Amino acid sequence: PAPPASRATTDLLGAAEQVGAGDYEVDVEVRGPRELRRLSETFNEMAARLAEEKAMARDAWLNEQSAISRLAW
């Protein structure tokens, strides 16, 4: 099997690709050497903030669309 640092790096790469594709609902396991654990924690925090921002933007857009449709009637 691959060493823990290698698995942690592979997991982070896969998660970064998911975020790059617009999937912010990703969470990587925090494991490996101290630097990789910190990187994983920071990555998870970043992905969570991006997911929250995406949800807020979606909600704002829906509210705007609702207001526009009320004006049209």
Tens digit of each residue's pLDDT (9 = 90 or more) over 22-40: 999 999 999 989 999 999 9
Q: Give the global pTM.
A: 0.80
Q: Which of 57, 61, 54, 4 is nearest to 26 (CA)?
A: 54
d(CA 27, CA 20): 14
Tokens of 72: 């049209």
pLDDT band of 72, cuts 50, 70, 90: confident
Judge whether 12 and 36 are in contact, CB under 8 Å.
yes
